[in-house]
A and B are shown apart, each in its own frame.
Chain A
Amino acid sequence: MDTVITLTLNGEMVSARADQTLLDIIREQKISLPTLCHMDGLSERGGCRLCAVEVQGAPRPMAACVTPVSEGMVVRTHTPELEAYRRMVLELLLAERNHICAICVTNGHCELQWAAAQAGVTSVRYAYLHPDLPMDASHGRFVLDHNRCILCTRCVRVCDEVEGAHTWDLAGRGIQARVITDLSRPWGASPSCTSCGKCVQVCPTGALFAKGATVAEMTKEHDFVSWIIRGRTKREWVW
């Protein structure tokens, strides 16, 4: 893949390799673009839509993480429309489940909380749904709280692609969708879970956390995903 692609990004000509995505190039150019489902080292999902950018000639915004570069593309990342859409996405996420930051284990370390503040969300225009959602505290070391899950599926992907266990999956559709362990049996009864904790570390919110953590105590470490992937693919073990 040595072909060089040239495209226009926010008015600047930039070059890219043909196997790169728009998000790769945007990050290379040090342009700040919010993401929640993307995680360096994991496959892309294109689910959160925060990285949606304007591609000239396209009928709708395109998620940068799943859009390959192509020759002559004209891309804008921060138009007023895109920023308004990003605020809408974040407000919808905040309204859908019970994100009560003040009493959350990841208060102050949460990617959703910070993305909302950065995007300028100071209130939510939509009616809060306040769904009655359960927690699963059956695992010996970790807890799943559906109230704080945004269905980014980082847990599903890291468990499948890095740990190789594929304990996590999604059940249900649309607003009924839930992350599940082993065909929806309690996490503590999962024979496939290795208790490695990768899912907990990559979770952007307080949906997965270490048992015993209380308000604002849960911090997360993501870099290990890139270290492991680099070690596996390039035999370079650097951290």
Chain B
Amino acid sequence: MTTQNGKIRLATAWLGGCSGCHMSFLDLNEKLIDLAGRAELVYSPIADAKVFPANVDVTLVEGAVANVDHEELAHQIRANSRIVVSFGDCAVTGNVTSLRNRLGVDDLLTAVYREGPGQAPRGGEADRVMPRLLPRVLPLHQVVRVDAFLPGCPPDPERIWAAVSALLDGRPVELEPKLRTFGA
């Protein structure tokens, strides 16, 4: 599946993460120009698209699945993408986002907000402003099928390029050991 101009349709998405993976993606610097010649960015926090489109070739997903909005977007991404990549440790392992899992949602909101200054968000229940938090933060592959993993917090540009260039060439993502450690 490619666009009429022969470019692959690339998307990136941002679930429960800090956007550091996207920052690292922008640190591809001049390689972004190569990438722009071979891929069309059809959905991304850094592109102006409101709805996840159909017929996407590759989607890089940053962040863990922490609330019902993330869960819904994860399913939309899976239904409309040929290849889904867990992009960075939060998507791959849950990482920092999952640190709250040892607490229940209600205890978490009490510990962070209700016992602190100011007004606490509701969060534990659905309202029209904030999506309901899931009982446990999950890595992406425990919510939808994932085709490739790109670990790192954030994955440095060298890792991102190793994975993205393989995907552009239609090769599987097979990172060498030093490029696939969690964390570093």
Residues of A within 8 A of B (CB): 94, 98-104, 107-108, 110, 113-114, 116-118, 120, 122-124, 127-128, 130-133, 216
Contacts and interface: CB of A to CB of B under 8 A. Distances in A.
The residue in B99, B175, B181 that gathers the most chain A C-beta atoms within 10 A of its C-beta is B181
B181 A117 contact: yes
Q: Which 9 A-B pairs rank lowest in CB-CB distance, beginning with the nearest?
A: A101-B183, A102-B153, A130-B101, A122-B149, A108-B184, A132-B102, A101-B182, A117-B181, A102-B183
Given A101-B153, A123-B141, A128 B98 contact: yes
A61 B98 CA distance: 34
Interface of B: 86, 89, 92-96, 98-99, 101-103, 136, 139, 141-142, 146, 149, 151, 153, 175, 177-178, 180-184
A100 B95 contact: yes
Contacts of A128: 93-94, 98, 101, 139
Given A102-B153, A122-B92, A130 B181 contact: no
A114 B95 contact: no
Q: Is the interface of A mostly helix, strand, loop or mixed?
A: loop
A226 B71 CA distance: 52
Contact of B142 (A94, A107, A108, A127): A127
Given A113-B184, A122-B175, A216-B184, A103 B96 contact: yes
A124 B181 CA distance: 13
A211 to B, nearest CB: 21
A103 B142 CA distance: 22
Contacts of B139: 123-124, 128
B180 A122 contact: yes
19 contacts: A100-B93, A100-B95, A101-B153, A101-B183, A102-B96, A107-B184, A108-B181, A117-B180, A120-B177, A122-B149, A123-B139, A123-B141, A123-B146, A127-B142, A128-B101, A130-B98, A130-B101, A130-B102, A132-B103
B99 A113 contact: no
B96 A123 contact: no
Nearest to B151: A122
Contacts of A99: 182
B177 A118 contact: yes
Given A113-B183, A114-B177, A128-B98, 19 more contacts: A100-B96, A101-B183, A102-B96, A104-B183, A114-B181, A116-B181, A117-B177, A117-B180, A118-B177, A120-B180, A122-B149, A122-B180, A123-B86, A123-B92, A123-B139, A128-B94, A130-B101, A132-B103, A133-B102
Contacts of B177: 114, 117-118, 120
A41 to B, nearest CB: 27
B102 A131 contact: yes
